[in-house]
Amino acid sequence: MINETQIVQMVKEAKTGQKERKFKQSVELIMVFKDIDVKKGFAINETVQLPKKLSQPASVCVVASGDLGLKAKSANADRVVDGAEINQVGANKRASRKLINGYDFFLSDTQLMATVGKTLGQFMGPRGKMPTPVPFNAPIDSILERFRSSIRVRLRNSLSLACKIGDESMSDDDLAANAHAVINMVEKKLPSGDKNIKKIMIKTTMGKIVKPPQIERK
């Protein structure tokens, strides 16, 4: 449907000819779908490891105690929360929302998954942020590294999705490679593959939307 060369051209156009901003703009991929009945519960909530690292890695909070908690701290997890603290945070709605909104991904010791679900599940579920279970003997260093270079792609009750694939400081080729990885994942989740994709677009935070006219379908 669309190849990486076309995406490179779209990225290049999105990054050029715009006003200079006082901040580093994100580059976003937008996908619009057709012939999908989202009212019947079709949804996508996937973690995609990007082939090209983001200049600002994703933040990861690890729910663990004991040896796994120590290993997570040693591996420089953005935050490590033990079971007692989870119960404390879960008793306060404001603190719960602050914790959940503060991190891109959550990992949890398998032994604490039930506690997390009971205390924070009502907040994490709707945001698509339920933690990924991690066994006590798992290689937490490599798991953290994988999530730091990942993004969450969500489609829920809508015929479109948007996700960050990097920022304007990254090369056109690297941004295109990340976009291509997301598109490939989404195609595999759609009922009819690329036939369900109506439009693919690229834009910067404050920039115009760029799309190749040949991929819009009526």
Does residue 5 surpass a pLDDT of 80?
Answer: yes
> What gap in Å lies between CA 176 and CA 8, rounded to an integer?
5
What is the structure's pLDDT at 176?
95
What is the structure's pLDDT at 214?
53
* Positions of E strands within the chain: 26-33, 43-49, 60-63, 79-81, 105-109, 132-134, 150-156, 160-167, 197-204
Where in the sequence of the chain do the CATH 3.30.190.20 domains occur?
4-55+151-215
Q: How confident is the model over 50-89, as pLDDT tens digits?
A: 999 998 999 999 999 999 999 999 999 999 999 999 999 9
What is the structure's pLDDT at 215?
43
CA quadruple 176, 150, 101, 118: dihedral, nearest 10 = 140
What is the structure's pLDDT at 23?
80
Q: Quick one: average pLDDT of 135-158?
A: 93
- Architecture field, domain 60-147: 3-Layer(aba) Sandwich (3.40)
Where in the sequence of the chain do the CATH 3.40.50.790 domains occur?
60-147
Q: Please state which CATH number belongs to domain 4-55+151-215.
A: 3.30.190.20
> What gap in Å lies between CA 160 and CA 22, rounded to an integer?
29
Cβ partners under 8 Å of residue 85, min gap 6: none
What is the structure's pLDDT at 216?
45
What is the structure's pLDDT at 37?
86
18: confidence class by pLDDT, cuts 50, 70, 90? low
